[in-house]
Structure 1
Amino acid sequence: MKNVTFYLDFVSPYAYLAFHALPQALEGCSYRMEYRPIVLGAVFKANAVPSPAQQPAKRDWIRRHTTWLAEQAGLTSFAPAVNHPFSSIPLSRMALACSEDGAINRYVANAVFAHCWEAGGADPLDLQRLEALRAVLHKQWQPTIQSVDDEAIKQRLRANTDAALATGLFGVPSFVVDGELLWGLDALPMLRARLLG
């Protein structure tokens, strides 16, 4: 069995699409998936590149492309947030409040991705919606965590981002298996091949 680290940022619609494509793409493979939220903005800054979603033409392309990809995948509930790109830090911290070591489980990842990309374009940072997400995650929440502003949560997010950068990561979704980095939604067949040897 291979260990795979899936580095993600909830702001990325491509990470959302990869998350939903994983079970089918890796069917029959023996692996253990570890989901680790990172700060994509920090990755862009470290690599001295601008965020594609902050460039109007690229942002429009990302919206059209990911909507088409979601339709092709049968993800009919996909709806890009009208305020994309949004700050995903509060969402990643909320997810990491459900973690002991910086990795989150599939249930938590799915809940946060759905909050961002399956809400008919609603603002993921709306306070009422954030409170509703917290209620969804309530049973997963670590008892030692008082709020998403706890230093332990901030440290987990920094540590995940630093670990991702140490692999040479430059975007999400990214997967690391046996120290090898694979990037992008279209890398899933390559990831499958890697797991199959």
Structure 2
Amino acid sequence: MGSLDFYFDFSSPYGYFASTRINELAKRYNHRVDWHPFAGEAFKPSTTGTSLVQNPAKRDYTRKDYVRSAAFHQIPFKLPSVFPLETRIAARAVMWTESKFGEDKGIALAQAIFKAYYVEDKNIGDPQTLVAIGEALGLNGEELTQGINDSFTKEQVRAELDLATARGVFGSPFVLLDGEPFWGFDRLDQLEAALQAKSA
């Protein structure tokens, strides 16, 4: 079984859209997906150009495109009332959960966080909100709180970011297939073509 590396930021609607498709896509071609959360703000010192929300023209366009893309792909979506927001703590929550309970539980938490933000309009920058999301999945709230604030978890997130930067990751969603990069939700068709070619 092959594997894909899926890098995403919870503050990216396109990352959310990709999260609803990536596992199913990979499974069709006998691949598994390694989910890698990161906080996109950390890339700014090493990248150039303005983000989608810093440039007024880009911001106005993408806000319309988020809604249009979600409707086109039939993905539940509501632009959050607080957007964007700090996602470092959410990334830590997923990282800690995966390291303690395995990849499947980490993915389940990531999916629940995406849904909470982009469907239920919950503030996922609030640690208490994240703990409540974790508890709904059966996680112990006190343990999750400790895990989020644990120095080892923080170091794990930093190490993941360093590795992502070294691998050329600069945005969300970003998928690597045997080192070949695919950036953006609109590249999933090309990713599927590459997967299909490998399975031929």
- Report the TM-score, using the length of structure 1 for normalisation: 0.86
- Measure, in 2, the Cα distance between the counterparts of 1:87 and 1:64: 22
Match of 1:7 in 2: 7
Match of 2:87 in 1: 88
- Measure, in 1, the Cα distance between the counterparts of 2:45 and 2:170: 10
Identity of aligned residues (%): 28
Larger helix fraction of residues: 2
Deviates more, 1:21-30 or 1:37-46: 21-30
2:28 match: secondary structure: coil
Match of 2:111 in 1: 110
Q: Mind listing any 5+ residue stretches in structure 2 that lack a counterpart?
A: none
Aligned residues: 194
Say which structure, 1 or 2, has more relative contact order (CA 8 Å, 6+ apart): 1
Deviates more, 1:163-172 or 1:130-139: 130-139
Match of 2:186 in 1: 186
Q: CA deviation at 1:93?
A: 1.3
User: 1:4 corresponds to which letter in structure 2?
Assistant: L
CA contact (8 A) 2:26 2:33 kept: no
Do the aligned partners of residues 8 and 39 (structure 1) sit closer, same or farther apart at CA in structure 2, a change above 3 Å counting?
Answer: same
CA contact (8 A) 1:39 1:157 kept: no
User: 2:87 corresponds to which letter in structure 1?
Assistant: S
Q: CA deviation at 1:157?
A: 1.1
Deviates more, 1:67-76 or 1:3-12: 67-76
Match of 2:125 in 1: 125
| Structure 1 runs, 4 residues or longer, greater than 6 Å off | none
- Measure, in 1, the Cα distance between the counterparts of 2:139 and 2:168: 35
Over aligned residues, Cα RMSD in angstroms?
2.5
Match of 1:149 in 2: 149
- 1:74-94 superposed Cα distances (whole Å, 9 cap, x missing partner): 123x11112211111111111
- Measure, in 2, the Cα distance between the counterparts of 1:27 and 1:93: 26
1:57-96 aligned at under 5 Å gives the runs 57-76=57-76, 78-96=77-95
CA contact (8 A) 1:53 1:84 kept: no
